[in-house]
Protein backbone atom coordinates (compact mmCIF):
# COMPACT_ATOMS: atom_id res chain seq x y z
CA UNK A 1 0.00 0.00 0.00
CA UNK A 2 3.04 2.23 0.42
CA UNK A 3 3.49 2.98 -3.26
CA UNK A 4 -0.25 3.41 -3.75
CA UNK A 5 -0.23 6.08 -1.03
CA UNK A 6 2.93 7.56 -2.51
CA UNK A 7 1.41 7.89 -5.97
CA UNK A 8 -1.76 9.37 -4.51
CA UNK A 9 0.43 12.23 -3.25
CA UNK A 10 1.64 12.76 -6.81
CA UNK A 11 -1.80 13.17 -8.40
CA UNK A 12 -1.80 16.39 -10.42
CA UNK A 13 1.95 16.31 -11.03
CA UNK A 14 3.55 15.66 -14.37
CA UNK A 15 5.19 12.25 -14.69
CA UNK A 16 6.69 10.16 -17.47
CA UNK A 17 5.65 6.53 -17.55
CA UNK A 18 7.96 4.13 -19.38
CA UNK A 19 6.29 0.88 -20.34
CA UNK A 20 7.82 -2.56 -20.78
CA UNK A 21 7.23 -2.27 -24.55
CA UNK A 22 9.58 0.77 -24.50
CA UNK A 23 6.76 3.27 -25.09
CA UNK A 24 7.26 6.34 -22.90
CA UNK A 25 4.39 8.72 -22.14
CA UNK A 26 4.50 12.05 -20.34
CA UNK A 27 1.33 13.35 -18.76
CA UNK A 28 -0.44 14.63 -15.68
CA UNK A 29 -1.13 11.89 -13.16
CA UNK A 30 -4.91 11.80 -12.90
CA UNK A 31 -5.38 8.75 -10.71
CA UNK A 32 -3.86 5.55 -9.45
CA UNK A 33 -5.32 2.44 -7.83
CA UNK A 34 -4.29 -0.48 -5.66
CA UNK A 35 -2.85 -2.34 -8.67
CA UNK A 36 -0.84 0.79 -9.51
CA UNK A 37 -2.86 1.14 -12.72
CA UNK A 38 -2.32 4.72 -13.87
CA UNK A 39 -4.54 7.21 -15.62
CA UNK A 40 -2.73 10.06 -17.37
CA UNK A 41 -4.19 13.23 -18.82
CA UNK A 42 -2.96 15.56 -21.54
CA UNK A 43 -0.41 13.07 -22.64
CA UNK A 44 2.54 13.58 -24.90
CA UNK A 45 4.25 10.50 -26.31
CA UNK A 46 8.05 10.60 -26.20
CA UNK A 47 9.28 9.94 -29.76
CA UNK A 48 5.83 10.60 -31.26
CA UNK A 49 6.96 9.79 -34.82
CA UNK A 50 7.51 6.17 -33.86
CA UNK A 51 3.95 5.84 -32.58
CA UNK A 52 1.64 7.52 -35.13
CA UNK A 53 -1.41 5.68 -33.80
CA UNK A 54 -1.15 7.63 -30.53
CA UNK A 55 -1.58 10.99 -32.23
CA UNK A 56 -5.14 11.72 -31.15
CA UNK A 57 -4.95 10.13 -27.71
CA UNK A 58 -5.38 12.81 -25.01
CA UNK A 59 -6.00 10.68 -21.94
CA UNK A 60 -5.13 7.09 -21.28
CA UNK A 61 -5.36 4.26 -18.80
CA UNK A 62 -2.18 2.24 -18.28
CA UNK A 63 -2.34 -1.21 -16.74
CA UNK A 64 -0.01 -1.40 -13.75
CA UNK A 65 1.48 -4.71 -14.86
CA UNK A 66 3.05 -3.18 -17.99
CA UNK A 67 4.86 -0.29 -16.29
CA UNK A 68 8.66 -0.41 -16.20
CA UNK A 69 9.41 3.05 -14.74
CA UNK A 70 7.55 6.08 -13.47
CA UNK A 71 9.81 9.13 -13.82
CA UNK A 72 8.98 11.83 -11.30
CA UNK A 73 9.67 15.52 -10.91
CA UNK A 74 12.70 15.99 -8.63
CA UNK A 75 10.67 18.03 -6.17
CA UNK A 76 7.81 15.57 -6.38
CA UNK A 77 8.54 13.90 -3.11
CA UNK A 78 9.60 14.61 0.42
CA UNK A 79 12.37 12.04 0.83
CA UNK A 80 12.24 12.08 4.64
CA UNK A 81 8.55 11.27 4.76
CA UNK A 82 9.13 8.47 2.27
CA UNK A 83 12.01 7.09 4.38
CA UNK A 84 9.87 7.10 7.50
CA UNK A 85 6.97 5.41 5.75
CA UNK A 86 9.29 2.74 4.34
CA UNK A 87 10.79 2.00 7.75
CA UNK A 88 7.33 1.74 9.26
CA UNK A 89 6.21 -0.62 6.50
CA UNK A 90 9.37 -2.73 6.86
CA UNK A 91 8.81 -3.11 10.59
CA UNK A 92 5.75 -5.21 9.77
CA UNK A 93 2.33 -5.55 11.43
Which of 20, 83 has the CB closer to other proteins?
20
Quick check: 16 binds other proteins (CB under 8 A)? no
| Among 58, 87, 90, 92, interactor with other proteins by CB under 8 A | 58
Q: Does 8 bind other proteins (CB under 8 A)?
A: yes
Residues near 57 by beta carbon (within 8 Å), at least 6 away in sequence? 43, 45
What's the rounded Cα separation, in Å, for the pair 91 and 50?
Answer: 45
Output 65 or 90, the one with its CB closest to other proteins. Answer: 65
| 33/64 Cα distance (integer angstroms) | 9
Residue 39 binds other proteins, judged by CB under 8 A? yes
Amino acid sequence: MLFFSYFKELVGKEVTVELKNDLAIRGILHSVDQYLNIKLENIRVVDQDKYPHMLSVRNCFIRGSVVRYVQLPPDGVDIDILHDATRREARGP
